[in-house]
Amino acid sequence: MLKTPLCEVLGIDFPIIQGGMAYLGSAELVSAVSEAGGLGIIGSGSSQPSWIQDQITLVRALTNKPFGLNIMLMSPYVEDVVQLAIEEKVPIITTGGGNPGIYLARLKESGAKILPVVSIKALAKRLDRQGVDAIIAEGMESGGHVGETTTMALVPQIVDAVSVPVIAAGGMADGRGLAAALTLGAQAVQMGTRFICAEECIAHTNFKQKILAVGDHDTVVTGESLGHPARCLKNKLTRQFQSMEQSGVPAEELDRFGIGKLYAGIIDGDIEQGSLMAGQIAGLVSDIKPARSIIHDIVLEAEAVFARINSAMGTNGENPSV
C-alpha cells in the first residue's frame, strides 16, 4: 500500500531512505537497509576516496539491491569522489552541503539517478530545471548540517514548486513520521538519526546509548558563524564551541578546533569532547534493533496510521496521499 511511484524509479520496496551519514554510512548499514527493501546510502563525508571505494565494493558483495552514495560537497576530496562515483557507475547519488550544479552534467551522463539534499526552495527549483531525478527537502530538525526552515513548512512548499518527486528529511523516526511526510506530498522519507541506532550501524555504543537517553530538548545548532551550521547533541564540546563563537574567535581557529571532533564522538565514543551529530527526533528513538526491523516497523505503523485515519473519516481504506 505504501509503495509510491518514486519506489519504482529507485527500485526499492518501501519509501524509506537511510540518509548518507559521514563515517556511519558504511557497507554494513547500507547493505542491511537495501536488503530490507529501503535505500541504503554510503556516507562519503570527508573520508578518503580509498575508504569510499572499499564501501562500494563491499556493498556490492553484500547485496544485489540498489544503493546510493552521498557526495558531501564540502569534502576536500569532492572531485575525486565525483570521479569515483562515475567510474563505479553508482546507481543513485545524493549530495549534501551545498549546490551540486557544477557536477550534474557529468553525473547524469554516468546514468546515475541524482537526488540533491536542499533546504531552500530556490535551490530546489534551480536543480529541478537542471534535470535532477528527485529533491530531498531537509528541514532544520535534522542531524548534521541544517538550513533554517522546518520540515513541516519546507516539504509542501517544495512539493508545489518542483516537477520531480520530493523526499522529506529531518525529524522523522517512525511510521507516524512517514505517514506525515506522505501526507505533505512527499513520496519517501530520508532518516538519519533513527538509523544510528540500527544494530548494523558502526556508531560507537556510547553514542547509540546517548541517543537512547536524550529527550526532546537535547540538541543544539552550532557553527552558524562559520556559514555551515550543524545540529548535534548538547555536550561539553557544543558548550565550548558556542562560547568560542560568542566571544568572536576567528573562523580559521574555529575550523581548526573542529578537526577530528566528529570521528572522536561518533566512532571513538568520546561523548563529551566529540561532536555527536543527531537530529531533534533523537528523543523519540528508544531501541537498538536490526535495520530490517526498523524498516518493517515503520511501514506497519504508517499503514496503521492511514487505516486509522481512513476509518475515522469513513473512507474506503485507500491511502489518499499516494
Residue 154 CB, shortest distance to ligand FMN, in Å, is 12
Q: Give Cβ neighbours of residue 273 (< 8 Å, ≥ 6 apart).
A: 235, 236, 237, 261, 264, 265
114 counts as binding ligand FMN under rule CB under 6 A: no
124 counts as binding ligand FMN under rule CB under 6 A: no
> Contact 99/111 with Cβ under 8 angstroms?
no
279 counts as binding ligand FMN under rule CB under 6 A: yes
Residue 160 CB, shortest distance to ligand FMN, in Å, is 21
Which triple of cell numbers denotes residue 317?
481504506
Report the residue count for the chain: 322
15 counts as binding ligand FMN under rule CB under 6 A: no
Say which DSSP state 46 is in: T
Helix, strand, coil content of the chain in percent (nearest 5)? 45, 15, 40
Q: In this structure, is the dihedral angle defined by the CA atoms of residues 30, 201, 17 and 43, taken in order, positive or negative? A: negative
DSSP three-state, residue 303: helix
Q: Tell me which residues in 158-177 interact with ligand FMN (CB under 6 A).
A: 169-171
Size of the site for ligand FMN (CB under 6 A): 29
Strand partners, 191: 18
Which triple of cell numbers denotes residue 269?
565514543
Of residues 37, 40, 43, 175, which one binds ligand FMN by CB under 6 A? 43
Residue 301 CB, shortest distance to ligand FMN, in Å, is 16
Looking at beta carbons only, is 226 or 309 nearer to ligand FMN?
226
Single-letter code of the amino acid located at 4: T
274 counts as binding ligand FMN under rule CB under 6 A: no
Encoded one letter per residue, x for contact with ligand FMN by CB under 6 A and - for no contact, window 177-216 reads: -------------xxxxx----------------------
Strand partners, 96: 72
Could you write out the DSSP letters of every residue in 66-115?
-EEEEEETTSTTHHHHHHHHHHTT-SEEEEESS--HHHHHHHHHTT-EEE
141 counts as binding ligand FMN under rule CB under 6 A: yes
Cα distance between residue 178 and residue 127, in whole Å: 24
24 counts as binding ligand FMN under rule CB under 6 A: yes
Residue 263 CB, shortest distance to ligand FMN, in Å, is 11
Looking at beta carbons only, is 21 or 162 nearer to ligand FMN?
21
Contact residues for ligand FMN, defined by CB under 6 A:
19-22, 24, 43, 45, 70, 72, 96, 117, 138, 141-144, 169-171, 190-194, 266, 277-279, 281
